[in-house]
Chain A
Amino acid sequence: MAVSARRRLIGFGGAGLTIALSILVAIGANVLALRAGSAAVDLTEGSRLTLSDQTRRVLASLRAPLRVDAFVRSDGSGRDVSALLARYEDASRRVDADVVDPDADPGKAQRLGITRYGTAVLHYRGRQVDVNVISEIEITSAILHLVRGNTPVVCFVTGHGEAAIDDEGPSGLSRLMKLAQRNGFDPRSTSLSTGSVDPECDLLVLAGPRVPLAEQEQAAVQARLEADGKVLVLIDALTEADVNPITAPWGIRFLGGVVVDTERNLNDDPTSPIVMDFPSTNQVVDQVPSLLVPAAAGLGIDDADPRPGLHVSTLARTSERSFLSRDPESPDQSQSLPGPVTVAAAADYSLVGGTRPEIHRTRLVVVAGVALAHNPILDTLGNATFFANALSWLAQHEVLLTVTAKRPGVHPLAMTPERRDVAFAATVVAMPGAALAGAVLVFVIRRRR
């Protein structure tokens, strides 16, 4: 009995010692891992968790400190952003990044004008750019933009009842102006009354003219487009202005009317369609999940590109069940055009020509609606992203997007009969069989004792 008790005591002591040592080893390993901090090995396909070579080249071009403040919630997505920005900090000593929870630090969010989660603000040599989607491609594009340092001037035409950029009311564009500023543009008001477009204007915006443009004003816009101009036209059915002389030579015609969409709309208002169909791969609709386009009209796209080097694409169109009504109040809709209705289109004209070879590049975005840019609507759904993208595309900033994002590859597993047999054998036969064999083995060993 005494021997047995001693053995049992030794057994308990050995087990206790083993547990204590295991605990010490586990704690030590965790403490070491915690102190190691940023040490990591990226074993993902295509090294998705490592900065691309393009990003490293952009970071190498930094000549001054770059400050990045990312405003995200401190949950899972916040940790992802934190990890991404840590990679930037590791890659360049000039990058100083901080992840801010805007609820926990509202003062900082207010100082930088943040009104939504998932925004990063980058500061470099006194310039600021906001990024609304925090990903490597967006951050690196913004850095490249800052490093290049140009600030395109966006001129909003006035004098025809257009929505004004200094109007903070419900029909104003003050939020669009701030969006443009945050994205590295210099928004200004301009007049065409002189018969020419201000040469300082890099982009021209016709934001819903209500009355017709004078002939000389129309000619000025046409001339600007012919001279590699970049123009954004917003127009709806309430206008008396005819923009077709400006847009039709570039393959886009304004049809007027009012879109009625009973399938996708806001608050059961069929004249406030929600657009979710973006058939092109144009940058303007990149990362735009949906658009709210109240009082949308329709656009017609020429089937054949009307001139060599011109490519016209449909950016956004309403649902299959929508239609373009001439009079939405009328019970007779026989004259209506069946949907889907194009509500936004882009024309891109590029040609190498001239005696001394030159690259001509004209860009035009036409949106059959104005209200989607108004202050109360701009921050709804993907409207703000759409306009930020449109300005960037018009300014030819898409070259920044040559920095490629690493996306996880999709590898569908074809379930062939052979694979099905293997899966069946492994999960139904081998694994339960192994468990059963183990149990039998234990039983036999115990019986022998």
Chain B
Amino acid sequence: MLALAVVAGLAWGIVALTAPDARAPRTRPERLLNSSKAQILAVEVVDPATGRRVAAASDQLRTLAADLTPLLAIRALPTVRSDYGLDAPFARVEARTAKGALPALLLGGTNFDGTGYYARIEGRRGAALVLVRIGDTAKSVLAASPQRA
């Protein structure tokens, strides 16, 4: 019986790995960043095109901190395509905690029905769809505040 179970498991694994949809986007929420809300001390949004760096105001900080702790992907996408807008992201979100900086979050365009922003963690493979509120808040940070030294 054990032998049969091993055989079945191996066969299933081989088929599952070689099946064409093995690299399909994952639809379950996935943690992109792990941190606790209390740890986030500041969030800065950078406009990658100009290098302009703006600190989130207190209400924006609250919103971003809530969404970054943890940062959940609506969907994880295995590859980064040019039409995700991540080749030229409109914002780079940098969060700082007491232990140091979290990996930066790059934000691209919205998805087809406007329910999420394409995003990617700098230095990691793959892309993800994140909450619209994160992108909108990042935009409001860039739009509302003057350049900070």
**Chain A interface (Cβ within 8 Å of chain B)?**
15, 18-19, 22-23, 26-27, 29-30, 33-34, 71, 73-75, 78-79, 101-107, 109-110, 114-117
Are A34 and B112 in contact, CB atoms less than 8 angstroms apart?
Answer: no
A105-B81, A107-B83 known; A116 vs B113 contact (CB < 8 Å): yes
Q: How far is the CB of B75 from chain A (nearest CB, A)?
A: 6
Q: Which residues of chain A have C-beta atoms less than 8 A from B83's C-beta?
A: 105-107, 110
9-residue interface stretch from B10-18, B60-68, B95-103: B10-18
A26 & B112 in contact (Cβ 8 Å cutoff)? no
Chain A residues near B81 (CB, 8 Å)?
A: 104-105, 107
Q: In the bound complex, what is the Cα–Cα distance between A327 and B14 (angstroms)?
A: 69
Q: Which residues of A contact B84 (CB under 8 A)?
A: 106
Q: Which of B20-28, B31-39, B40-48, B137-145 touches A?
A: B20-28
The CA of A435 and the CA of B38, in the complex, are separated in Å by: 58
Complex Cα spacing A79 to B6, Å: 28
Q: Is B24 within 8 A of A74, CB to CB?
A: yes
Q: Which residues of B contact A78 (CB under 8 A)?
A: 24
CB of B49 closer than 8 Å to a CB of A: no
Give the CA-CA distance A221 to B109 in the complex, in Å: 47
Let me know if A103 and B11 touch, CB within 8 A: no
Query: Lowest 9 A-B CB distances belong to which pairs?
Result: A107-B83, A109-B112, A74-B24, A26-B11, A102-B112, A19-B3, A22-B7, A30-B15, A106-B112
**Cross-interface CB contact of B3 among A18, A107, A110, A114, cutoff 8 Å:** A18
Query: Chain A residues near B129 (CB, 8 Å)?
Result: 103
State A26–B13 Cα separation when bound (angstroms).
11
Which chain B residues numbered 83 to 129 have a C-beta less than 8 Å away from chain A? 83-84, 109, 111-113, 116, 118, 129
Inter-chain contact A27/B112, CB cutoff 8 Å = no
Task: State how many angstroms separate the Cβ of B23 from the closest Cβ of chain A.
Answer: 10
A22 — which chain B residues lie within 8 A by C-beta? 3-4, 7
A33 to B14, CA, bound (A): 12
Q: Are B3 and A15 in contact (CB under 8 A)?
A: yes
Which residues on the B side are within 8 Å of A117 (C-beta)?
113
| Residues of chain B contacted by A79 (CB below 8 angstroms) | 21
Task: Report chain B residues within 8 Å CB of A116.
Answer: 113
CB distance from A114 to the nearest CB of B (A): 6
In the complex, chain B residues whose CB is within 8 Å of the CB of A106: 83-84, 109, 111-112, 118
Expressed in whole angstroms, the Cα–Cα distance for A107 and B118 within the complex equals 13
Asked if B27 and A75 sit within 8 Å, CB to CB, the answer is yes
Further contacts, 12 of them, CB under 8 A, given A23-B7, A75-B24: A15-B3, A19-B6, A22-B4, A26-B10, A30-B14, A30-B15, A74-B25, A103-B116, A103-B129, A106-B111, A106-B112, A110-B83
Residues on B with beta carbons closer than 8 Å to the beta carbon of A109: 112
Contacting pair A104 B10 (CB below 8 A): no
Residues of A within 8 A of B3 (CB): 15, 18-19, 22
* CB-nearest residue of chain A to B74: A103
With a CB–CB cut-off of 8 A, which chain A residues contact B6?
19, 23
- Separation of A169 and B10 alpha carbons in the complex (Å): 58
Q: Is B10 in contact with A23, judged by CB distance below 8 angstroms?
A: yes
Residue pair A19, B7 in contact (C-beta under 8 Å): yes
Contact assessment for A103 and B15 in the assembled complex, using a CB-CB cutoff below 8 Å: no
